[in-house]
Structure 1
Amino acid sequence: MSVDPSSLIMGVAAAIGGIVQGADMPDAAEDFAMQQIYAVADQAKAVDVTIDDYIELLPENSREPARQTLDTAAETAQSAVAPFLPPPVIAAPAADPGFDEPPPVVPSEPEEVWSAEESETAGGTVAESVSNTERVVTGNSAAGPMPISSIAVFVPWFTKAGGICEGITAPVLAALYSVENGFRYGAASPASPAGARGPGQFMPATWARYGKDADGDGKSDVLGVADSVMASGNLLCDMYSQIGEWKAEGLVSGDTLDLTLAGYNAGIGAVRQFGGMPRGTDDYENQTRPYVAKIRESEERFASVLQLLRSDSGSVGGRIVQAAIRYLGLPYVWGGGSVKGPSSGGFDCSGLTSYAVYDATAGFILPRTSETQWNVGVEVPLEDARPGDLLFGNWGSGGPGHVAIYLGNGQMVHAPTTGDVVRIAPVFEGMKARRVVS
């Protein structure tokens, strides 16, 4: 058949869905309408099979004329509804669910010159710092997609460096490295025009003081992961201690960690000079302060990510989480995704949960919508939720209008809405948890 009736029905369902989503109607009415559209779409693929079965019951010499008649009718119907159909979606290459991960997101190049300096104070020379007073914070923003494959290699060293001193934790280091250079290392870690190098963006004088052979490979490698992260940990801890002493003496004021991060960016001498957060110049106001804010804003998110990457993926909940975070950064597509993986270039919220649960359990199939997934398993108090449990929100008369996967630490992974991507985010207010598999 040149025009499949099922394709026509799917197109009409998509068109109606677009109208419903764009209409200003009460949540309850929209939820009900979307349920009906999903029901139509779910049944559409059976239409061709039913029609073909009926045609096969006809006398052989009548089958071809019957097919031609149906073709003509379907084409006529398609022409009639064409003005109401959404434009065709050009599907992005879907990641193969058999792969360990989709291609990683490549961070953008740094846009401004970075510099470094050795700070002097009245009390003598203090820890050399990575100073990038002219930098624009680029790479992976706190709100953007996260390259899990890139982060994973850093995790053991973030953990180790995060234990050097009490003030500098692994999530802080992860957030800083995201802002500094987007977790690029080795040949993929470009040098700045000013000569800052490696994933921690060290200037030569600073590296000469802090760069050590942390992984025992016989060299101090500014482009490597282990040596850079441990150098950053030691540098940050030295500055944290120095700033703590200055605060005790009344020489500076402010949050110690904020000031330490400012020192990594602008030089600890600037912190001492201004008696706290550097201020006044364009560099400090437009670079240093946003730099510190981005790190602190994403600290909690990175705590969840590190917890995931350090967790035992042998549990079913861990496997559900791992299946979902493979697709961080993949576009939201209404109706997208199934137990086989993304479709039309992405996932919607229940498509992502359907895939992750199926992949983690090697065959457990959830119903396709958030409303029907709510009926599977048992509800658990939100405070008792475990990684891999499903979270439901956006409640209407028909049930939940959204579903996500709990990660732990108040965070979840979900496919939010049109124009967004699969991402990690804080748990929404009013969400409820359900354990669909044990």
Structure 2
Amino acid sequence: MPGRALALAAVACAAGLVGLPLTLLLAVTVLHDRTDTPTATPGGPLRTTAVPDTYQNWIIRAGAGDDRCPQLSPALLAAQLAQESGFNPRAVSAAGAQGIAQFMPGTWPTWAIDADGNGVASPFDPADAITAQGRFLCALLADTTAGIADGTLTGDPVSLALAAYNCGLGCVRAAGGLPAIGETRDYVTRITAAVADYTAPTPPPAGGGFGERVAAAAQAWTDTPYVWGGGNEFGPTTGTDTGTAGFDCSGLTLYAVYQASGGTIRLPHYTGDQYQQGTPVAGDDIHPGDLIFFHIDGPLSHVAIALGNGQMIHAPRTGKTVETVAWTTDPYWTDHYAGTRRITPNEP
């Protein structure tokens, strides 16, 4: 089929390259579509309430990475640990992968470290395993970033590094990108979708009032893809229809309001429900940060954030990205205008 590269990847070859946590114990035929690799966001600081207290400091330290892997983050490691073992330090898979980070016995010696200084480096010791996980994923991020730069790999480094953690770097190299292995693609999708859940809220932008902070929080994600059902209070998510992380219109607004309020205001995701929050605002009194609603595909089917001077920022539709547009002089928007609501720090 045009646009597809066919490659045969053997597990033994991949294991010889980097070793395999969660090794696929068979040779697989890999079909890779260079046009459908999902884009992943690397996350950021750890939302500590989302992980067991015992592991918080180790995840934060391991997620610091170094200059080779700027994409590494504590949130990414936490999401991966949740997928690998559910934070269970005694987990053993059917394939023999061990511990909280699910290292295979053959892979562990390469990355083993006695992180807590107890005299033993063990995949069943969370401190050792999490530190080794960070080192291993950092190396994979560096390798996949280099492959993208030299044209031998297509995709984004986070998705490709996660795939390599699951099926081996040789597997990813043979595919020229994200392998068409169901288990591996599901692994990558689940982790990248969960990263936002483990990312700490962004501190409200300095300066300005609440409305200005709402606007600034949304503007920080300019050019982020539109994804149906995408976005929550912590950032972009994969939504319901693709592996790409992004926002839909109401996902962007709920994120911006949550961040601007320091996590005290959590709007519902549904646009119609957001219209019930806050207080109504007259069309000649719209301020930055107000939520502007439109009837487009149906009643109250779109929402945007006012920026002032007749501009708004929004996540428009599939195929577009978060953008700023002038709406008060555009008949399309004025003809579909439904109303404006103002959310304040004591709302809802």
TM-score (norm 1): 0.40
TM-score (norm 2): 0.50
The structure carrying a bigger helix percent of its residues is: 1
